[in-house]
Chains A and B, each alone.
Chain A
Amino acid sequence: MADDGEPAPSPEEMLRLIERQRADTVRRLKGDPRLLYAPWGVAWLLGFGTLFLHYGLGGEPYLAISQMQAVGVMLSLQVLAGGVAAYGITRMSGQVRGDSSARGTMYGYAWFAGMVLMAVVASRMSPQLPPEESGLLWAAASMLVVGVLYMAGGAIWLDWSMFFVGVCVLAVNAVGVVLGAGWHALLSSVLLGGGFVVVSFWLWRRG
């Protein structure tokens, strides 16, 4: 342990020490990206993957499961991912209190409110729609909330990678909706699900 008796290191070493400490601290406070991004990635990869196998691209399902089963897989994986992410966030938020934890709390409630409202709107509208369109409504509306909140999160924490992730989610969502339910599920699974897994490990390695 460094103590007063120890001779002070050279200015270069002190500067390096400051930089290393700053990087370590930022890394620690940001939370583990493997807990914050990867669970969503896995949930979308498998959940949208299942939906895609149900829809197929030419109107023919690739897997004989009902839409309810496919949506069920999707939703339970999302709940699981939410649980893991919440664990990651609680582990982070015990370390610091003050303005930034107030920020995090409000942001958390914004997610909750967005998802609840999405469910209210979609459950009111979806019975009026043909099955494929109703599935697409749920998927597209939930990804709209996700994308907008990631962009907002980027603004709150001045984090360009988070902002950019939100932009990608919205872009994939838009293209998917235009192309239809099967394509939406395929693109979301591969690009967003796979993308989130890759981003989480890339952020983790970069530190």
Chain B
Amino acid sequence: MTAGSPPPELDPVIHAQARLRVVAALNTLGDGDEMAFPALKDLLGMTAGNLSVHLTKLEDAGYVRITKTHRGRTPVTYVALTKRGRLAFDEYTKAIRALLDTAGGPS
């Protein structure tokens, strides 16, 4: 990073612990994959209500795609990161690294 450049701005949608964890988890999935809502909830250790709130914010930003469907008769919801969400996450991690570099690096 060039010294003296202004600190990069952090995406406010992602720059909150809970939503960062959601996006980081979904980012590990392959491009054509979606994760079932209960699996994501268990993985993150959040309550269904809390996760829904964060997913709605991410969906409003166009970062996640939520698909409601049925498996047999039980309704299932699948969550995936959109292209835009993936890009935003990449930008965010880049920005965080840049911040660390200007601060003299980690540790």
Contact = CB atoms under 8 A, between A and B. Distances in A.
Interface of A: 1-4, 6, 8-9, 11-12, 14-15, 17-18, 21-22, 24-26, 28-29, 94-101
Contacts of A101: 33
Interface string B18-40: 10110011011111111110010
Contacts of B10: 8
Interface residues of B, number: 33
A96 B33 contact: yes
Contact of A28 (B18, B21, B31, B43): B43
Contacts of B34: 96-98
Nearest to A15: B96
B1 interface: no
B16 interface: yes
B36 A3 contact: no
Contacts of A12: 100, 106
Nearest to B78: A97
Contacts of B99: 11
Chain B interface mostly helix, strand, loop or mixed? mixed
Interface in B72-92: 78, 80
Contacts of B106: 12, 15
B66 to A, nearest CB: 14
Contacts of B50: 1
Contacts of A18: 20, 24, 93, 96
B2 interface: no
Contact of A21 (B25, B29, B36): B25
Contacts of A15: 93, 96-97, 100, 106
Given A96-B39, A98-B32, A98-B34, A14 B20 contact: yes
Contacts of B78: 97
A124 to B, nearest CB: 40
